């Protein structure tokens, strides 16, 4: 592989990454991977990737067509063409998956056109190492655009486990008392019970929460957990929190099924830690919420 074709692939990859990230950013599914407060960093990354892609294409082009980008108008027009994939995916006209396929086909075509005759000859010109690094950068792009997103679920619990310790005190500024009891989510309840376990005002309030079901081996037969994953920074630090549910049909609830639990709240002790407890009046299956994770 020679220098210009290496540059070309680099630019395609960089533009591909930028369009994947911008698609995530614009439809909010970026929250499936990182906390909202880091979104601006991704926006910065996209703009840097954009300019890297433009520069990469410029230098490849000037290698083949000497006066390709010599006037400001040409530069602006070309830049617009180069960043068009990003605009297309971020406005959701094209999915990142389709875009990844189009970009790789285009890349292949251009490479063949440029190097068809001296491909074999120039292959050794560039270090093998450099080609490995191209493969590595392709990895997140392929994974991100090809593998459909599925939130962490009860199966991840087998390695991650329930975090029975309270959710970070740093987020204690929010006052869960001001939230209507039936609108509190699982995280609000966990915080509240940990903070004021003896407050009789809380015990007996009605809860209405959505989470996934999980049968913990430490629980009694008709008991199960209704849980959510909490993300402090990115999915890598996700930890599950949950409330113990008591329900007559508890045995028949399927692990990993999203459920809506309504009932009276009290507290219980599990492994020496205080955990909110719901005496369920109803447990019904529901669809996965648009925002599967909770964010403190």
Q: Does 269 bind another protein (CB under 8 A)?
A: no
The answer to whether 161 contacts another protein (rule: CB under 8 A) is: yes
Classified as helix, coil or strand, 76 is: helix
Tell me, residue by residue from 230 to 249, as one string, x for binding to another protein by CB under 8 A and - for no binding. Answer: --xxxxxxxx----------
Residues in the chain: 296
Residue that has been written with the tokens 């400001």 in this structure: 72
For the bound state, the minimum distance from the C-beta of residue 204 to another protein, rounded and expressed in Å, comes to: 26
- Contact by Cβ (8 Å): 248, 239: no
Least Å from the CB of residue 262 to another protein? 28
Q: Binding residues for another protein, how many (CB under 8 A)?
A: 70
Examine residue 34 and tell whether it contacts another protein (CB under 8 A): yes
Assess 176 for contact with another protein (CB under 8 A).
Answer: no
SS3 245: strand
Determine how many CB atoms are found less than 10 A away from the CB of residue 100.
23
As a whole number of angstroms, the distance between CA 10 and CA 27 comes to 26
Mapped onto helix, strand or coil, the DSSP state of residue 260 is strand
Closer CB to another protein, 208 or 255, in the complex: 255
108 binds another protein (CB under 8 A): no
Return the residue of 45, 110, 210, 270 that touches another protein, per CB under 8 A. 45
Distances (CA, A) of 139 to 1, 108, 145, 154, 253: 20, 17, 10, 26, 38
51 lies in the binding site for another protein (CB under 8 A): yes
Cα separation, 96 vs 108, in Å, equals 18
Question: To the nearest whole angstrom, how small is the minimum distance from the Cβ of residue 273 to another protein?
Answer: 8
168 lies in the binding site for another protein (CB under 8 A): yes
Q: Would you count residue 270 as binding another protein (CB under 8 A)?
A: no
Considering the complex, state which of residue 241 and residue 280 has its C-beta at the smaller distance from another protein: 241
**Residue 49 or 280 having the CB closest to another protein:** 49
Q: Which stretch binds another protein (CB under 8 A): 78-86, 107-115, 137-145, 195-203?
A: 137-145
Give, in order, the Cα–Cα distances in Å from 281 to each of 186, 249, 263, 284: 17, 11, 5, 10
> Out of 73, 113, 120, 147, which residue is the one contacting another protein (CB under 8 A)?
147
CA distance 4 to 43: 28
Helix (H, G, I), strand (E, B) or coil at 137: helix
The angle subtended at Cα 86 by Cα 61 and Cα 50, nearest 5°, is 55
* Cα-to-chain-centroid distance, residue 123: 37
Report which of 90, 103, 85, 86 is spatially closest to residue 29, judged by C-alpha positions.
90
Q: Is 134 in the site for another protein (CB under 8 A)?
A: yes
* Shortest CB 129 distance to another protein, Å: 7
240 or 261, CB closer to another protein? 240
C-alpha 159/C-alpha 162 separation (Å) is: 9
Binding site for another protein (CB under 8 A): 3-4, 7, 10-11, 14, 17, 21, 24, 30, 32-34, 38, 41-42, 44-45, 48-49, 51-52, 55-56, 58-59, 62-63, 66, 127-130, 132-134, 136-137, 139-140, 143-144, 147, 149-153, 155-156, 158-161, 163, 165-170, 232-239, 273
């Amino acid at each position: 592989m020679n220098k210009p074709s290496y540059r070309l692939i680099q630019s395609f990859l960089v533009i591909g990454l930028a369009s994947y990230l911008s698609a995530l950013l614009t439809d909010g599914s970026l929250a499936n991977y990182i906390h909202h407060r880091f979104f601006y960093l991704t926006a910065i990354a996209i703009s840097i990737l954009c300019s890297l892609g433009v520069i990469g294409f410029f230098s490849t082009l000037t290698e083949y067509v000497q006066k390709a980008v010599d006037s400001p108008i040409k530069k602006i027009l070309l830049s617009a063409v180069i960043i068009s994939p990003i605009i297309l995916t971020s406005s959701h006209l094209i999915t990142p998956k389709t875009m990844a396929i189009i970009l790789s086909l285009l890349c292949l075509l251009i490479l063949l056109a440029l190097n068809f005759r001296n491909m074999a000859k120039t292959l050794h010109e560039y270090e093998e190492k450099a080609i490995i690094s191209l493969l590595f950068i392709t990895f997140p792009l392929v994974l991100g655009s090809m593998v459909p997103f599925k939130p962490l679920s009860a199966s991840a619990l087998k390695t991650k486990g329930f975090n029975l310790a309270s959710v970070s005190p740093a987020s204690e500024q929010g006052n869960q008392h001001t939230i209507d009891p039936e609108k509190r989510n699982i995280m609000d309840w966990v915080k509240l019970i940990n903070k004021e376990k003896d407050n009789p005002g809380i015990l007996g309030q009605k809860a209405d929460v959505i989470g996934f079901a999980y049968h913990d081996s430490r629980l009694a037969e008709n008991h199960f957990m209704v849980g959510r994953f909490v993300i402090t920074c990115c999915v890598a630090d996700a930890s599950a929190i949950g409330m113990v549910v008591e329900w007559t049909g508890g045995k028949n609830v399927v692990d990993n099924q999203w459920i809506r639990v309504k009932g009276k709240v009290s507290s219980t002790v599990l492994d020496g830690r205080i955990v909110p407890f719901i005496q369920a009046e109803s447990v019904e299956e529901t669809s996965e919420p648009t925002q599967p994770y909770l964010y403190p």
